[in-house]
Amino acid sequence: MNQNNVVGKILGSKIPKQLLAIVVGVIVLIFLFSRSFVYVNPGNVGIFVNRLNGEIDTKPLESGFKFKLIGFQDIVEYPIYMQTLILSKASTEGANYNEEINVNSIEGQPVSCDVSLSFELDPTKVPALYVTFRQNINEITQGFVKQTIRQIMQQVVGNVQVADFIGRAKSSIVTEVQKEIQQRLNKYGFVIKQFTINEIRPPETVLKAIESKNIMSQEALKSKNQLKKVQFEAQQQVEKAVGISTSILTEAQSQSEANKILSKSITPTLVRYKAIEKWSGKLSEIGSTQMPFVGDKNIGTPSKK
């Protein structure tokens, strides 16, 4: 049974060979025509590859339907929207997908880190990126980009102490690593949006040593503050005593000066004059029958010094 009879039976009637060839040809043309159009999704750009001579168009294709010759040309898509590469320890012990970053501090202490890198691709540099790696973006990030992060972190963290990496220097290390990553990946079209160190895992012995050091520092600070308090209170007492002493001395000096002035101003004439002022004129008050002060030549006469 030939092909014409099979098709004819399927359709319920015989079809001329010429018509069948036309139908098959149209189907093939439709198939080839549909495969000749490639849809570049929004948020992506296309890279036009000429398979005849191996040339790659340096101008990226924008999103939408693009035409290519099947077998002779190709269009490769690359995402240009923001993506995040996460490199962290596997959640399951013994798993083979542990992607944490391992570095050493300046003391040689091993430190494991979970990091993440958010980036976009510069559309104008995507064709050059494809020419350089000939890989999709996932292969590039898991290979070249991951290794770049590892190298830069070792370079930066290797110059600081592990205690500083965990504590006060972490922020500056993140900034320095992000800056260095941007410089190295910029020529490939990567635009770094954010680099983050999500977790730092130093050895347990290092954590205990740092904890002990912190406790000692806190105790020392507490003792120092207590000593300052005692010294302050003692200084207050000294100042208070000095104030009281100064006050007493000032009062005594004032009284002494007053006594000197008073003693210089008292003369026999002044005494007699004051006595006369106080006397009421009655002899009984002075216990004498004679008139007091009579004939006293000094009354009213200034005393001679």
* SS (HEC) of 115-158: EEEEEEECHHHHHHHHHHHCCCHHHHHHHHHHHHHHHHHHHHHC
Enclosing H/E stretch for 44? strand 44-50
Give percent of the chain with pLDDT exceeding 70: 61
CB 98 within 8 A of CB 69: no
Distance between alpha carbon 183 and the CA centroid of its chain, in Å?
21
> What pLDDT shows up at residue 204?
81
Predicted confidence band of residue 299 (pLDDT cuts 50, 70, 90) = very low
Between 297 and 72, residue with greater pLDDT: 72
Q: What dihedral angle (degrees, nearest 10) is formed by the CA atoms of 208, 214, 215, 221?
A: 170
Q: How far apart are the C-alpha atoms of 7 and 293, rounded to whole Å?
A: 172
> What pLDDT shows up at residue 144?
95
CB 112 within 8 A of CB 89: yes
Task: Using DSSP, state whether 55 is helix, strand or coil.
Answer: coil
Predicted confidence band of residue 223 (pLDDT cuts 50, 70, 90) = low
Between 65 and 278, residue with greater pLDDT: 65
Between 262 and 105, residue with greater pLDDT: 105
Convert the pLDDT of each residue in 142-188 to its tens digit.
999 999 999 999 999 999 988 888 888 999 999 999 999 999 999 99
pLDDT at 3 over 60: no
> What pLDDT shows up at residue 63?
84
A 10 A CB-CB count for 45 gives 21
Q: Say if pTM beats, i.e. exceeds, 0.85.
A: no
> What pLDDT shows up at residue 240?
74
Convert the pLDDT of each residue in 11-35 to its tens digit.
445 567 777 777 666 676 666 555 6
Rg (CA), the chain: 53
pLDDT at 305 over 70: no
Q: CA-CA distances (angstroms) from residue 189 to 80, 169, 221, 230?
A: 10, 30, 51, 64
Tokens of 270: 């002044």
